[in-house]
Amino acid sequence: MCGIFGYVSKNKTRAIPVILDGLKRLEYRGYDSSGIAAVVSGRILCKKKSGRIHEVEKILNNTWDSQAAIGHTRWATHGAPTDRNAHPHFDCSKKIYLVHNGIIENFRELKDRLLKRGHKFQSDTDTEVVAHLVEDFAKNEGVSFEEAVRLALKSIVGTYAFVFIHADHPGKIIVARNSSPLLVGFTDNEKYVASDASAVLPYTRKVVYLQDGEFAILTHNDFRIATLDRKAVLRNEERIEWSEDMVRKNNFPHFMLKEIFEEPEAVSNAIRGRLVLKDGLAKLGGLELVQNDLRKINRLILTACGTAYLAALVGEYMLEEYSGIPVETEYASELRYKKHNLDLKTALLAVSQSGETADTLGALKEIKRKGLLTLGVVNSIGSSIARETKAGVYNHAGPEIGVASTKAFVSQVAVMALLTLFLGRQRDMSLNTGRKISDELTKIPDKIKSILAGAKQIKKIADKYYKYENFLYLGRKYNYPVALEGALKLKEISYIHAEGYGAGEMKHGPIAMIDKDFPSVVIAPSDGMYGKVVNNIQEIKARGGKVIVVATKGNKEIAKIADDVIYIPETIEMLTPMLSVVPLHLFAYYVGVLRGNDVDKPRNLAKSVTVE
């Protein structure tokens, strides 16, 4: 979950500012502490500090002349977020420095062995063990820096992305990857290493993605990739599609608000070129190779974590109603440890914005091992899940920098609607139904824009409620997952206790919490569940609870019983979540800001969960 960055150049003056800029672009991956190490005049100078990146920036010496440097921004796993546990870490000789994203599972065993051999440790982290391990191999085996790194990597059990530098090799960095994201960006005279593409966008769009079990040696004018068994790897370069402008706030105060306002574009990009309106079809090029396999499946498992899980849950409702395939949605963190009665007519669909989510990737590999068809819905091209699955669909939502996912959710739901069309029209979905869904999908971006135009009204409602400490979110059928998503966003951004429930479950426990100080947000569009949800609202009001209702435009009756109403345009029932979630995203954002929180970097969270 941490962000790592490395740089080597022919120019000796650029390293420190480039690393610092890269870390700022990666800060959303973790912000407990940060640090930079650079090779300067035959030795390595290092500065690191707990807290946000500006804390280490204060103590940096920008006069350092260095052609190779590494940096890290941390989300703590082993060891508290203190100065001593901040990366980079180093060996006894202070010649070998490294940064790491991942977890070393056998670090205690390795540390005990190294302590017996006289090594002295400075931190409580698992990472530091690797620096000493490289030193130990170089010293006792008499091997080169490169070989010592290779031997150390072969001794490790766990997940990692590493960047190493050595005082005696000022123009070289070594990088390695196993189940944690890592890419190499390059120009003729500079090489960059980063956890994701956003960090290298100002410098290059030419990248190579490392794969598991590979390491690479980088100099300013060359790089070589090999496996840990010394087999050379040839890898074609790829071009990043995103522009640098996509990872800037532009005129918005926060990335989160910018990305909420990009939700119409996220849906447009997800469906662009993928609808055949006259035939009511979805054309998904990423699934064409397996479309005959998909005709044969009689069960589909959707798996994901966090917000992606909730988008998948919306997809379950869509797919079961319109494709005729039994569908179940599983938390990836649980799926990999459950026993399933699987057969080869079952397929797995993994959903992940980053394509690197550790639990989702683990569940995918477990199901793939059993020989089942595996599919993916991801936003990041070249990501681990994209490579591990046999086929899939890219979101094309662009980079999402805010830690709390917003536009990725609506994009994922849009892809779920496309998948429903694709599978449904293979089976019993009629031409008319296909046309109706596809036609309505094209209207969703403009309908989201109309909701965003009313953002000031939603801010006024947030002004009214931001001091409350508890919220209940309720929805039914397609909007049950939206209730969960609304509650999750409020928790993440405002640190208010919020629970999402299926509205029908309210009487089975949560109603005990309702009083004048426990407001509810109820999603009540004018659909087949409306009458039942209105009954739930009446039950809350009868107990003195305040109610904010998300309702369909034109419904004047709901204003007679609700304390506040947010209106959304009408659409077909299965597509309502892409509209009803937008005011909940805005509400969470405004409440978080009013409470004085850093909404782009909420406490204890990181954007991409790459450790289990």
Task: Report, as residue numbers or ranges, the catalytic residues.
Answer: 2, 607
3-class state of residue 301 by DSSP: strand
CB 343 within 8 Å of CB 337 = no
What is the number of other CB atoms lying within 10 angstroms of the CB of residue 390? 16
Dihedral sign from CA coordinates of 488, 493, 495, 497: negative
Q: Which of 223, 216, 150, 156 is nearest to 188 (CA)?
A: 223
Question: What are 394's two structure tokens?
Answer: 């890219």
Query: Would you report the helix, strand and coil content of the chain in percent, each value rounded to 5?
Result: 40, 25, 35
3-state secondary structure (DSSP) of residue 247: helix
The values of phi and psi at residue 20, to 5°, are -60, -45
Alpha-carbon distance of 421 to 281, in angstroms, equals 6
- Residue 28 near residue 599, CB atoms below 8 Å: no
Residue 46's DSSP bridge partners are 37
Distance CA 487, CA 499 (A): 6
Please report, for residues 201, 550, 603, the alpha-carbon distance to residue 186 in angstroms, rounded to integers and kept in the order given: 11, 49, 34
Strand partners of residue 161: 101, 177
What lies within 8 Å, CB to CB, of 72 at 6+ separation is: 2, 3, 4, 5, 23, 34, 35, 36, 48, 86, 87, 88, 99, 100
User: CB-based contacts of 467: which residues, under 8 Å, 6+ apart?
Assistant: none
3, 70 Cβ separation under 8 angstroms: no
Distance CA 513, CA 543 (A): 10
Measured CA to CA, the distance from residue 197 to residue 206 in angstroms comes to: 10
Going by the DSSP 8-state scheme, the letter that residue 149 receives in this structure is H
> Chain-centre distance of CA 324, in angstroms?
30
Q: Give every CB contact of residue 46 below 8 A, 6+ residues apart in sequence.
A: 35, 36, 37, 38, 88, 90, 97
DSSP label of 179? B
- Residue 176: CB atoms within 10 Å: 26
Which residues, at least 6 apart from 434, have a Cβ–Cβ distance to it below 8 Å?
A: 279, 280, 281, 421, 424, 425
Contact in structure between 56 and 73 (CB atoms under 8 Å): no
Q: How far apart are the first and last CA of the chain?
A: 10
The enclosing H or E element of 173 equals strand 169-178
